[in-house]
Structure 1
Amino acid sequence: MTNKEIVLKAMDEFFHQRDNSAIERYWQEDYQQHNPSMINGHEGLKNILGILDKNFSWRPGIIVEQGDTVITHSLVHGWGPSPVIVVDIFRLEDGKIAEHWDVVQEAVPADKTASGNPMTSF
């Protein structure tokens, strides 16, 4: 499985199927989290499912893989009160996610952007 496939499978099983056992399969035990509101390790991930909106969805559009790094540009519903655009950066090690960074921005409909272009690729 490629690193891109691992990330997509991990995110689907954990966030969409809400399978806590995905943490053990796809994330390193000493996983490093760079989002300032989340803690490192498996415990931080376990905490997310308990507070996540029941209608949460993560829909990646652009996906880039280079070496041990996978970057996704996604539309996310249920992370907050309105949809957000998220750029996630994952570093993998030995077939598991070892590190994560993200940038989150409120989604703006195309008809409300200065360019008239959508914020996503789909």
Structure 2
Amino acid sequence: MSEANKANTVAFHKKAVFEGDVENAFRIYAGAPYRQHNPLIEDGMEGLRKFVAWMRANHPDAHGEIKRVLADGDYVILHSQWRGLTDSARGEAVVDIYRLEDGKVVEHWDVIQPIPETAANKNTMF
């Protein structure tokens, strides 16, 4: 089940967030109700649709790249690098956590961290 959940979550995220096709992402990959834990986004398809439209209007060059996908049962975690959300050329490290029911995305959390210019170690954010 974890591999199917990973595939469905990646497809949902790419279609809704990266491509902006929220309606089809929900039609194909999401269940109801869809709960959102990002305080800037309302619950449901309409909340994500409005947020993605705002992001595209205000940050038209923003784009993300999924670096890794992890799954534990009904939870799937995407670790991504975003560029264009802010003025930082380094971008942001983003972790999206999704919960699925019966293979459908029904809940979302995220954490966003700016990638610093310097670090106390030689490791990267990815």
Q: How is 1:3-18 mapped onto 2 (pairs within 5 angstroms)?
A: 3-18=5-20
Separation in structure 2 between the aligned mates of residue 34 and residue 42 of structure 1, nearest angstrom: 13
Structure 1, unpaired ranges of 5+: none
- Structure 1: 4+ residue segments shifted above 6 A: none
Compared CA separation, residues 23 and 54, structure 1 to 2 (3 A): farther
What is the Cα deviation at residue 92 of structure 1? Answer: 0.5
Higher mean alpha-carbon deviation, 68-77 vs 16-25, is at 16-25
Separation in structure 2 between the aligned mates of residue 66 and residue 118 of structure 1, nearest angstrom: 24
Mapped contact 1:15–1:56 kept (Cα < 8 A): no
Identical pairs, percent: 35
Is 1:84 paired with 2:92? yes
Report the aligned-residue RMSD: 1.7
1:59-94 Cα deviation digits (max 9, x unpaired): 122221111110111111233333211111110112
| Counterpart residue identity of residue 49, structure 1 | V
What secondary structure, in the 3-state scheme, does the structure 1 residue paired with 2:13 have? helix
- In structure 2, the residue matched to 1:55 is 61
Structure 2, unpaired ranges of 5+: none
Q: How is 1:33-112 mapped onto 2 (pairs within 5 angstroms)?
A: 33-52=36-55, 53-82=59-88, 83-109=91-117, 112=118
Mapped contact 2:79–2:93 kept (Cα < 8 A): yes
- In structure 2, the residue matched to 1:28 is 31
What is the Cα deviation at residue 2 of structure 1? Answer: 0.6
Higher mean alpha-carbon deviation, 98-107 vs 54-63, is at 54-63
